[in-house]
Amino acid sequence: MSEVKPDITFYTAKSSFPAFNGWKISILLEEIGCPYKVIALDLDQKEHKQDWFLKINPNGRIPVIIDHRNGDYPVFESGAILQYLAETYNKFIPNERNLRYDVIQWLMFQISGVGPMQGQAHAFVRYIPEKIDYAIHRYQNETRRLYEVLNNRLKLTGAYIAGSN
């Protein structure tokens, strides 16, 4: 019996430091249900900075996907990957323009606000040896504020941030 060729090759992280951006891609890939292969790059060994990977993603970061159904097309940056997968598989993003932009707005909110602020909060609280009170308070307070925005939105919409489905 032959092995099913994956639609997607998904490059993510294997490291001593948590790399959360790959997690959201793996969740969406599971929800979509497309066949995919995971390649975990050893960030501690700088695999993501090797020439072969920089040809796929010039920024040398994870996550990255390669879409084999689209001529081995590479997509990098977590928000771009999420939108690409949703549009490619026609799941989790409506076709009607206003509903579609409800989803896109909240995706941008996550990638430009929640992700970076939460990442900085974790870095200054857990990983940076020197405790810098200003940075800790600034990023924790901004993360809390962003969570309040999300909670207020959920009070209006119910179970989903960008609508009813």
Residues of the chain with pLDDT under 70: 1-3, 16-18, 165
Q: Rounded distance, CA 66 to CA 105, Å?
A: 25
131 token code pair: 């405790």
CB-count burial class (<10 Å; 0-12, 13-18, 19+) for 13: buried
Within 10 A of 25 (CB to CB), how many other CB atoms are there?
24
Position 164 scores a pLDDT of 72
Q: Rounded distance, CA 111 to CA 51, Å?
A: 27
Position 76 scores a pLDDT of 98
Position 4 scores a pLDDT of 73
Position 104 scores a pLDDT of 96
Q: Rounded distance, CA 131 to CA 134, Å?
A: 9
Position 165 scores a pLDDT of 64
Q: Rounded distance, CA 78 to CA 30, Å?
A: 15
